[in-house]
């Protein structure tokens, strides 16, 4: 049985009004505010991590504390990836707007909890991780339903434009978060979380006052077994990948750990069981039949590959700036997080330039040329980064960053609009959740793969360079040898968190036995970055090759989606008559082919 919301009779092409403002702009403003808040939260946290670790008195160099850092960084993405499809499916059943509103409330309430964390040390870290996971539940509910709300409100030939504007808010939130995180963390790290609260309150009031259900709702039974196996399988798999980065025994990584192997195998097994369950239940939460629609399947595959290529790469580039380039150019470790964010702004600018334009043009010409071209340009930008030396001239780095931002701006809105246009109106919530899963899943996969490649490169090249550099400053050979063979993740994250690792690793006992000249050299801003600059660059080349390969495969998947395609039900929901219809799928628009 199908229900329609109170504004179901909005005139065709999304021109219905809510007061004097067309409702589609109301929907865009609400979803944009949600995206803005989520991105401010994510980017400000990244910049404020040094202040947070100092605030709860947690040392990044202690081996056990690395686990807390991983979960603070990746716990949100893990929970979000596991829940977005479920949130989208429930939105199809009970209302996408209702789920979006509830998500806004949960996200904001968790921000209040984060600003009130009361413990220090490991207990404080656990409280932050738990509240971040609660926040991820609200984020998943918003993320799963926002694209579906926009698809309901806008006609098919304006969705690329709407999603492009939504993408601009995503980058604007990232920019604001970088600045706010740096400024507020210098005052009190709790303010980094508290700043989300007034934004959340405004968004909640605006959503409850103005946002209405205009999409289809389908009464159905909740697929409890499917929901449980999907969330559990994905959570177990991603947990295994997360711990694969952590050192195990004598190894610098944990991929040989029985726990990691068991979690990955167990997660895959549960997900295989999920597929069998979904093929047999009467009302599955995950409509596998949607993958028979080529535009939907290819678009989601391209989104996953693009996310794998880009999510971890931004983290690597920030580490390159914070751990090596900025200290080499005279910035103290305490100042590098803020300046790394500022120096990454060309990436944001490139996305701001390309995102809306590509969204508008894709409404006319289809997603294929823009999404495919964007991924080809993205691969080219990664190859150009490979050509830069470790101590690059900033203007060359900025130009490549801008090109990278343009490439993903070309891809994002057209690909999302094409995915959402390809499905029936009744499946928009679950389709949005499946698309969000592909995008969210890319982050933990990307960080796991990229860090593994980076650690392999550093393990091969750092020991000789570090040992020679330390003994040249009269550090005892046994100490130099021990430090040169420590897991790279320790000193990389220490530099990322604004700490000079050598000062802490050598300690007062070793430093006290050295001359003042040697001590000043060892604890200087430039010495440690100069030691690992060459090995880091060698390691990141492997990462960049992998990222470029992911972009090229994403470009192929995007090209194989076919020409411009809109599902006949997606047209009909706005009163548009499909030009021709055969079965469930509408024919391509005039002058375009499906292949």
pLDDT average per 10 residues of sequence, the chain (595 residues): 39 46 82 82 78 82 74 81 78 83 92 90 91 91 81 74 69 73 80 89 88 68 80 84 80 85 93 87 76 87 90 81 85 76 84 80 82 94 93 94 91 83 74 76 82 82 84 88 80 69 81 87 84 84 92 93 62 43 36 38
List own/partner pairs for 121-130 with CB under 8 A and 24 or more apart. Answer: 121/56, 121/57, 121/58, 122/58, 122/64, 122/65, 122/68, 124/56, 124/57, 124/58, 125/56, 125/58, 125/65, 125/68, 125/71, 125/72, 126/68, 128/52, 128/56, 128/72, 129/68, 129/71, 129/72, 129/75
Backbone angles phi, psi at 59, to 5 degrees: -85, 130
The predicted pLDDT at position 388 comes to 92
User: Helix 159-187 vs helix 121-153: angle between axes, to the nearest 10 degrees?
Assistant: 160
For residue 566, which of 432, 431, 419, 427 has the smallest C-alpha distance? 419
Residues sharing a CB contact under 8 Å with residue 88, sequence separation 6 or more, in sequence order: 144, 145, 148, 429, 430, 431, 432, 433, 434, 436
CATH of 7-222+285-458+534-586, one of 1.20.1250.20, 1.10.3720.10, 3.40.50.300, 1.20.200.10: 1.20.1250.20
The predicted pLDDT at position 167 comes to 65
99: Cα within 13 Å, side-chain hemisphere: 32
The predicted pLDDT at position 574 comes to 46
The predicted pLDDT at position 495 comes to 66
Which tokens sit at 350? 């490139």
The predicted pLDDT at position 580 comes to 35
**CB-CB neighbours of 272 under 10 Å:** 12
d(Cα 459, Cα 247) in Å, to the nearest integer?
A: 12
- Does the predicted TM-score (pTM) go above 0.85? no
**CB-CB neighbours of 373 under 10 Å:** 18
The predicted pLDDT at position 554 comes to 94
User: Looking at 16-111, which runs of residues are DSSP E strands?
Assistant: 17-18, 21-22
- E strand or H helix that includes residue 216: strand 216-218
The predicted pLDDT at position 80 comes to 82
The predicted pLDDT at position 594 comes to 41
């Amino acid at each position: 049985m199908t229900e329609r919301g109170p504004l179901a009779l909005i005139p065709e092409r999304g021109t219905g009004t809510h007061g004097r403002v067309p409702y589609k702009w109301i929907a865009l403003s609400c979803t944009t505010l949600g995206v803005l808040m989520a991105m401010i939260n994510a980017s400000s946290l990244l910049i404020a991590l040094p202040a947070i670790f100092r605030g709860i008195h947690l040392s990044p160099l202690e081996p056990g504390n690395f686990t807390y850092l991983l979960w603070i960084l990746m716990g949100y993405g893990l929970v979000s990836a596991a829940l977005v499809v479920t949130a989208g499916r429930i939105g199809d059943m009970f209302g996408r707007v209702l789920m979006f509103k509830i998500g806004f409330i949960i996200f904001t309430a968790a921000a209040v909890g984060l600003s009130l964390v009361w413990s220090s040390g490991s207990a404080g870290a656990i409280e932050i991780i738990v509240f971040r996971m609660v926040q991820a539940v609200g984020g998943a509910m918003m993320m799963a339903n926002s694209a579906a709300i926009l698809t309901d409100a806008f006609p098919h030939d304006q969705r690329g434009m709407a999603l492009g504007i939504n993408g601009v808010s995503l980058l604007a939130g990232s920019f604001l978060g970088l600045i706010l995180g740096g400024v507020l963390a210098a005052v009190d790290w709790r303010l980094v979380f508290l700043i989300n609260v007034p934004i959340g309150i405004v968004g909640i009031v605006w959503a409850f006052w103005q946002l209405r259900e205009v999409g289809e709702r389908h009464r159905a039974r909740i697929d409890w077994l499917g929901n449980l196996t999907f969330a559990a399988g994905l959570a177990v798999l991603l947990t295994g990948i997360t711990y694969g980065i952590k050192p195990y025994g004598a190894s610098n990584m944990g991929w040989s750990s029985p726990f990691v192997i068991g979690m990955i195998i167990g997660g895959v097994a549960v997900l295989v069981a999920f597929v069998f369950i979904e093929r047999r239940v009467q009302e599955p939460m995950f409509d596998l039949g949607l993958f028979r629609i080529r535009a939907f399947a290819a678009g989601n595959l391209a989104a996953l590959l693009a996310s794998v290529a880009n999510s971890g790469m931004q983290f690597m580039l920030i580490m390159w700036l914070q751990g090596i380039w900025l200290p080499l150019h005279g910035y103290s470790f305490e100042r590098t997080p803020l300046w790394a964010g500022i120096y990454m702004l060309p990436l944001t600018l490139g996305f701001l330039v390309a995102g809306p334009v590509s969204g508008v043009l894709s409404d006319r010409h289809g997603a294929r040329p823009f999404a495919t071209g964007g991924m080809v340009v993205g691969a080219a930008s990664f190859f150009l980064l490979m050509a830069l030396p470790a101590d690059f001239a900033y203007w060359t780095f900025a130009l490549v960053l801008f090109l990278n931002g343009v490439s993903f701006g070309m891809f994002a809105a057209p690909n999302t609009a094409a995915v959402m246009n390809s499905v029936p109106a009744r499946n928009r919530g679950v389709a949005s959740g499946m698309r969000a899963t592909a995008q969210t899943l890319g982050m933990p996969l990307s960080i796991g793969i990229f860090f593994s490649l980076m650690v392999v490169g550093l393990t091969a090249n750092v020991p000789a360079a570090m040992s020679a550099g330390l003994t040249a400053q009269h550090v005892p050979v046994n100490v130099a040898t021990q430090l040169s063979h420590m897991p790279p993740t320790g000193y990389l994250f220490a530099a990322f968190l604004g700490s000079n690792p050598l000062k802490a690793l050598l300690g007062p006992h070793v430093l006290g036995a050295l001359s003042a000249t040697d001590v000043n050299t060892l604890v200087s801003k430039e010495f440690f970055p100069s030691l690992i600059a060459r090995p880091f660059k060698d390691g990141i080349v492997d990462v960049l090759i992998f990222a470029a390969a992911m972009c090229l495969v994403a470009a192929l998947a995007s090209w194989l989606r076919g020409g411009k395609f809109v599902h006949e039900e997606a047209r009909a929901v706005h009163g548009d008559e499909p030009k021709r219809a055969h079965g469930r799928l509408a024919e391509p628009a005039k002058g375009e082919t499906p292949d």
